[in-house]
A and B are shown apart, each in its own frame.
Chain A
Amino acid sequence: MIYLDHAASTPMRPDAVAAMLPFLAEHPGNPSGSHGASRVAKTALEAAREDVADVLGCEPREVVFTGSGSESDNLAVKAAAWAAHERHTELDGVVVSAIEHKAVLGAAHRLTDSGCRVAEVAATLAGTVDLERLARAIDDRTSVVSVMTVNNETGVVQPLQVVAAIVRERAPHALLHTDAVQAPQWLDIGAATRGFDLVSLSGHKFGGPKGVGVLVRRDGVPLTPLIEGGGHEHGLRAGTQNVAGIVAFASALRFTHDNRDTERARIAMLRDRLEAALADNLGGVTANGDPDLRVEGALHVAIDGVEAETLLVALDGVGVCAASGSACSSGAIDPSHVLLAMGVARERALSSIRMSLGWASTDADIDAAIERIPTVVRRLRERAA
C-alpha cells in the first residue's frame, strides 16, 4: 500500500507506541487518585504535560489535554466566545477564515444559536486568508478570531503574525485562536503561534495516537468548559485523562520537534520528486495554492480531465491512498470548501486530489507512486466519455 494521506492520519511513531503500552496494561491508576497506582499515572501525565509545554514554548499549566483536535477547536472557539460575551455583552463577533477545518467552521456556526455574528473570510488563490477582508471583518465587537496555522488541504502556511497584528490593532479585546493541527511536523509551534491565545493540536497528525488533542490556553485567557465534571485539566475539560494516549502524544511531539529540520528536508525531496514526475508524465497537473507557501508534506493538485472521485477509486484499486476535498463520515466527497473559498472554479475543485507525505513516507513509496499514478490517470483520461 502506498500511503499518501498523512495529513488525514499518519502512523504512530514506534517510540510513541512503546511509551503508551505500559499505561494500557501495567499501570491502571486514575491520575486523580491518591494511592501509589494513581501517583504513577499522575506523574506520567504531568511529565507529558511538561514535555509538551517545553516543545510548544509555554507553561505546563497552559496545556489542556482534550479528546481530539476537533474538541480543542470547539473548546477554543465556543468557550472563548461565550466567556467574552459573559464579560462584555457587546462582544458578539466571531471571525474565522473560510478555509478553516470543519471543526472551527462548525463551532463558529453553532455560535449563531447564541446570538453571535459569524464572519467567514475568504482566501486568495495563493491559499492564504485574504488579509484585507480579514481586517474589514474585524471590529471592536469581535470576540474571537480563528485562523489556522497550516491549511489541511493545500498545506499552505497562513500569515499568522500578520493576522495577529491586524487583530491586536482593530480588536484588542478579541481572543486569537489558531488550529495548528497540521503544523507540528513543519513549524516550530511556539514561534509560529506567538501572540495567539489559543492553539489546537491533534496527536494522530504527527505520529501520536488518535483521540488525544491539546489546547494551549495562554495564562489568563478566560474559557467556559464544554464538558463539566470533576475539575480535570484546570477545570476546563472534565473526564479522566487518557494517560496512555497523552504519554504517547508527548513522545511523538518531542521526536517530531527534535527531528523537524532533517525530516522537512527529506520529505521535501520526496514531494518534489513526486510532483516533478507527475508533471513530466502527465500534462495538465497544476498545484492548488502557492507552491512556495506549502509545507513540505503537501501536494494538492488539479489533474485536468479526471474527476477526483473516480481517480481516488482507481488509485485505491492499485493500492494508492490519496484524498480529496473534505470527505465526511460517509466518504462522499463534496467539492472542497477550501478551494472554493480560494476562488478556485468548481470544476477544477472536483478534479483536485491531495497527496500528503509524512514521517513514514519512504523513497520506495514515491517510486511506486510515480510508477502507478500516471498509468491510472492516463487510463481514465482515455476512457473518459
Chain B
Amino acid sequence: MSRILVAMSGGVDSSVAAALLRADGHDVTGVTLKLWGGPQDSGCCAVSDVEDARRVAAQLDIPHYVFNFSDDFERSVVDPYVLAHATGSTPNPCVACNRTMKWGRLLERSRQLGFDYLATGHHARLVTTANGPRLARSVDAAKDQSYVLALLTESQLSDTMLPLGELTKTEVRAHAARLGLRTAAKAESMDVCFITKGGRQAFLGARVPRAPGSIVTPDGVEVATHDGVDRFTVGQRRGVGVALGERRFVIDVNAHTRTVTVGGRNDLLRDRVHLTDTTILGTPPSRDVVLAAQMSAHGAPVDCTVEGDVVRFAAPQPRVAPGQVVAIYDGDIVLGAGIALSADAA
C-alpha cells in the first residue's frame, strides 16, 4: 500500500484514477488545483468542477483538498503563453502546466507531505525498463496523452502513477458507470482551460497590444496587412485572410518586423527541426536509429532520426511552429522531447 496524491480535475478520467487506486487498497488523497479564475470567472472558485471532484472524493471516502496555485499558474503558464504568441511562437500551455504545476509545484508539495506517488488521470502508461522508468503511449491510441507529458524527467516519472494507461476511454467510462461516479457521463475538456469565452484571439487581444504589420509572400511582396502577429501560427491556413486564388499557409512569423509570410504548401516543408530545452531520458539514441517524432497533441508520428538538438525527418514535414513541443518516441516509448526553435532553415 502506498500513500498516493491524486490530482482530481473533476472529470471522469481522474475520478476513475482515484477510484482504481482506492480499490487497489492504497491510501489515497484527492486534490484539485485552483489554477485560474477569480470572482469574475465562475463565482469565487465555487467552480462546479471542484464540486464534482469533492463529491467523487466523498463517494470514495478519501480526503480532498484544493490547492490554490493561481498565482503560479498565471506566472508560469498564462504569462509565457501570451508572451510567446506576442513574439510569434506557438506555445503548448498544457505541457507547460504539466511541467510547472502538476509535476512542479504539486509534485513538490506531494513529496513534502510525504506522499509516495502523485497520480493523474492522463491516458499514458508508465513502464519500467532496464534504464529506468519510461513514459509510453496509452493502449487507447486515440486518447493517448503521452505527448503532453513527454517533457517529464526520470525523477518526476519515478514518483508518478498513471492508473489509466492500460485502459481505453470506453473502459474508463465503464468503470465510472459501474462505480456510480457522478462524473461518468461528463463531457471532455478539449481546449486551453483558461480560455473560455471568445476563444484564443479574444483572449490574446485583451492582453497583447495591437501591432499592425504586413503579410508578405516568400518574395517579400506585401499582399495584405494584419493587426498583430499573435493572430498567426506557422502552418495556419484558416483565417489568413489573403485572397490569392490558391491555398495559402503561414510559413513564417517574424515578431520583430511584425511580418507574416504566407506561401504554398511546399514553402512550408522542412526536413528538420531544431529543438531547445531538450530532455532525452537515458543514453541519447544513436543518430542512425529510426525514431518517431510527434509535433502536436493529436498529430501523427513521423519517422525521424535525432542528433543532439536536431530532429531530421525521413520525409519533409510541414514546418513545426516555433514553441511547439516535439516528442520523440521509440515505438510506444517516449524517449524525450524538446521545444521547436525558429532556426530551421533548410
Chain A: residues with CB nearer than 8 A to chain B? Answer: 307, 309-310, 313-314, 316-317, 328-334, 379-380, 383-385
Contacts and interface: CB of A to CB of B under 8 A. Distances in A.
B50 interface: yes
A332 B66 contact: yes
Interface string B41-62: 0001111001100100000000
Given A309-B67, A313-B113, A330 B51 contact: yes
Contacts of B109: 307, 309-310
B197 to A, nearest CB: 21
Interface string B98-142: 000000000011011110000000000000000000000000000
B113 A314 contact: yes
B194 interface: no
Given A330-B34, A331-B54, 18 more contacts: A307-B109, A313-B29, A313-B65, A313-B113, A317-B63, A317-B113, A328-B46, A329-B46, A330-B47, A331-B66, A332-B50, A332-B66, A333-B66, A379-B114, A380-B112, A384-B112, A385-B108, A385-B112
Contact of A330 (B50, B112, B114): B50
B254 interface: no
A47 B63 CA distance: 43
The CB with the most chain A CB atoms within 10 A, among B29, B51, B65, is that of B65
Nearest to B51: A330
Contacts of A330: 32, 34, 44-47, 50-51, 54, 66
10 contacts: A310-B109, A313-B29, A313-B113, A317-B63, A330-B44, A330-B47, A330-B66, A331-B66, A332-B50, A385-B112
A346 to B, nearest CB: 9
B68 interface: yes
B44 A329 contact: yes
Interface of B: 29, 32, 34, 44-47, 50-51, 54, 63, 65-68, 108-109, 111-114
Nearest to B44: A328
A332 B112 contact: no
A316 B32 CA distance: 16
A38 to B, nearest CB: 38
Given A328-B45, A328-B46, A330-B45, A310 B34 contact: no
A378 to B, nearest CB: 12
A384 B113 CA distance: 9
Contact of B63 (A316, A383, A385): A316
Contacts of B34: 330, 332
A309 B68 CA distance: 8
A334 B68 contact: yes
A313 B5 CA distance: 12
Contact of A383 (B66, B67, B111): B111
B45 A383 contact: no
B192 to A, nearest CB: 21
Nearest to A325: B68
Contacts of A314: 113
A331 B114 contact: no
B30 to A, nearest CB: 11
Given A316-B63, A385-B108, A332 B45 contact: yes
A332 B31 CA distance: 10
A310 B112 contact: yes
Contacts of A333: 66, 68
A329 B66 CA distance: 11
A345 to B, nearest CB: 14
Contacts of A379: 114
Nearest to B112: A383
B61 to A, nearest CB: 15
B7 to A, nearest CB: 14
A380 B34 CA distance: 22
Contacts of A384: 112
A330 B54 CA distance: 9
A71 to B, nearest CB: 18
B113 A332 contact: no
Contacts of A385: 108, 111-112
A304 B114 CA distance: 19
Nearest to A309: B67
B156 to A, nearest CB: 13
A379 B113 CA distance: 9
Contacts of B29: 313
Nearest to B49: A330
The CB with the most chain A CB atoms within 10 A, among B29, B32, B47, B109, is that of B109
Nearest to B46: A329
Nearest to A333: B68
A334 B34 CA distance: 10
Across the A-B interface, the 5 shortest Cβ-Cβ residue pairs: A332-B34, A332-B68, A331-B66, A332-B66, A330-B45
B87 to A, nearest CB: 29
Contacts of A331: 50, 54, 65-66
A352 B54 CA distance: 25
Given A310-B109, A328-B45, A330-B34, A383 B65 contact: no
Contacts of A309: 67-68, 109
Contacts of B112: 310, 380, 383-385
B314 to A, nearest CB: 42
B333 to A, nearest CB: 29
B122 to A, nearest CB: 23
A316 B67 CA distance: 14
A274 to B, nearest CB: 23
A317 B110 CA distance: 13
A251 B1 CA distance: 49
A317 B44 CA distance: 26
B11 to A, nearest CB: 16
Nearest to B48: A330
